[in-house]
Amino acid sequence: MKNKLELYFRAAQSAKIGIWKMDLQTNHIFWDAVTKCILEVPENFEPIIGNGINFYTMGENRDRIKVLINSAINHGITFSDKFEITTAKNNIKYVECICQVDVIDGKAVHLLGTFQDITKEQNLINELQLSVEKFSSVFSSANDAILIIDTSNGIITDCNSRSTELTGYYDSEIKGIHHSKLFPVAFGKELRFFLKYNLTKNEYKVNETSIKTKSGNSIAVEIASGKKFMVDNSTYLVCFIRDISERKNVEAKLSLLSLAASETTDTIVIANPNGEAVWANQAYLDLTGLKMGEVIGQKPGYASKGPETDEQASELMRKAIQNQESIKITILNYTKNKEKYWFELNITTVFDRHNTFIHFIGVGRNVTSRIEKEIELKKLLDITNIQNNKLYNFTHIVSHNS
């Protein structure tokens, strides 16, 4: 028996499993070297009733071990559980404690068991749990529809709530169907290529396609690949699907606008919410002498200022753009070759159906001829006023002398 016990101790030490024993008749407690190592106490440390409990982190862990020990002593109930402990060196660890009970004449006389450090495993579980919680949070609250597809058969295994909003199907109708049911036949080939591409290459890829709703309508979408992952030797692909129908409508309108704008003599510039140009018509390029590449991505006024440009007018425009407000203004601008011209500009703000600001549209006109005539007319009026004043003064003097 002694040899068997010795063999058991050696096996436990090899596996880094601690052994402990509590004699309920003598109140003597035994901890082997592995148990003491886990708790980070000296080899000569002598455990006594009560101080072993104090290593269990205060709160739920300590309360739970107390209940389990009392149940073992009073009712002979064994247990196996995991706990957080704080070692003698104030380090946090996770342990698994197993307790067996020796009962004689219906009374517990010994508690004995094992004590194993599972910190690495528990930290891994905690990290995994955190990752799962983060993914679940993103999965459920994402603005994009998310599908998880089993790549071996093309079956959709999971989807988020945005997927049901986009397609009109209940999640129970989406899960378990082949992905082709959600995409029109015309896009089947490119979707198969998209899935195959993402399985063979670890590259982020985005495709524009259409999705078919439950009511039979087609919605323009952008489908992006996420990370693929494996579960039980099966490979799954996460697909993010974004509704771009509104963007497509805007692009179509802009296309029509550009077609119409190309035929007008008025200059037209379309800018994003930051005031950076995304498109300009030929009339604008002809007037300013700029090329399209010099306009796109820049704020239209960057190349138009010169020594005689009215700073107050420039500041009014800057504030209007900053506040996303419409404005009408006439300002002295300069071409790329530093030639002066007067520019009448009407900037309008554009909002989508959700009342989200999306574009500025600036419609301008070269009014140099008109402004120069107005300036000449003002000069003539000023000269006339001066002459009239002189004539008045002369008449006044003559009449006074008479």
Question: How wide is the angle at C-alpha 378 spanned by C-alphas 373 and 380, nearest 5°?
Answer: 95
Q: Are residues 19 and 114 in the same domain?
A: yes
Position 151 in a domain: yes
CA distance 325 to 210: 35
Per-residue model confidence (pLDDT) at position 130: 73
Let me know whether 196 and 230 are in one domain.
Answer: yes
How far is 222 from 144, CA to CA, in rounded Å?
Answer: 10
User: How many C-beta atoms lie closer than 10 Å to residue 242's C-beta?
Assistant: 18
pLDDT tens for the chain, residues 1 to 402: 444 445 555 555 556 889 999 999 999 999 999 999 999 999 999 998 778 899 999 999 999 999 999 999 999 999 999 999 999 999 999 999 999 999 998 899 999 999 999 998 888 878 777 766 666 666 666 678 888 888 788 888 888 888 888 889 998 998 998 887 887 666 666 666 666 666 566 666 677 888 888 888 888 888 877 677 777 788 888 888 888 887 777 677 666 666 655 656 788 888 888 889 888 888 889 999 999 889 888 888 767 788 888 888 888 888 888 888 888 988 898 999 999 999 998 988 888 777 788 888 888 889 888 888 887 887 777 676 665 565 555 455 555 555
User: What is the reported pLDDT for 188?
Assistant: 61
Q: What CATH code is carried by the domain that includes residue 83?
A: 3.30.450.20
Query: Are residues 237 and 275 part of one domain?
Result: no
Q: Which domain holds residue 292?
A: 248-366
Q: Which of 57, 89, 123 is the last residue of a domain?
A: 123
Q: What is the pLDDT of residue 213?
A: 86
Q: Are residue 280 and residue 257 in the same domain, yes or no?
A: yes
CA neighbor of 117 nearest in space, from 7, 22, 39: 39
Q: Is residue 375 in some structural domain?
A: no
pLDDT value, residue 70: 94
Q: Are residues 263 and 337 in the same domain?
A: yes
**Tell me, what's the pLDDT at 171?**
87
Strands 155-159 and 340-351: unpaired
Whether 387 is in a domain gets the answer no
Task: Let me know whether 312 and 353 are in one domain.
Answer: yes
The tokens for 132 are 């799962």
- Is 197 inside any structural domain? yes
Identify whether residues 104 and 188 lie together within a single domain. Answer: no
What three-state secondary structure class fits 349?
A: strand
- Comparing CA positions, the residue from 232, 183, 173 lying closest to residue 209 is 183
Do 333 and 351 belong together in one domain? yes
Within a domain: residue 385? no
Please say whether the beta carbons of 42 and 132 come within 8 A.
Answer: no
**For position 81, what pLDDT does the model report?**
94
Structure confidence at residue 387 (pLDDT): 59
**In a domain? residue 154:** yes
Please say whether the beta carbons of 65 and 82 come within 8 A.
no
Give residue 1's pLDDT: 44
Same structural domain, 235 and 259: no
Residue 306 lies in a domain: yes
The CA-based dihedral angle spanning residues 182, 184, 185, 186, taken in that order and rounded to the nearest 10 degrees: -140
Q: Is residue 400 part of a domain?
A: no
Q: Are residues 118 and 148 in the same domain?
A: no
**Domain C-terminal end among 216, 243, 270:** 243
Q: Do 238 and 208 sit in the same domain of this protein? A: yes
pLDDT of residue 381: 73
Residues 260 and 338 in one domain: yes
Q: Summarize the chain as % helix, strand, coil (round to 5).
A: 45, 30, 25
**Total domain count, the chain:** 3
Last residue of a domain, one of 191, 218, 243: 243
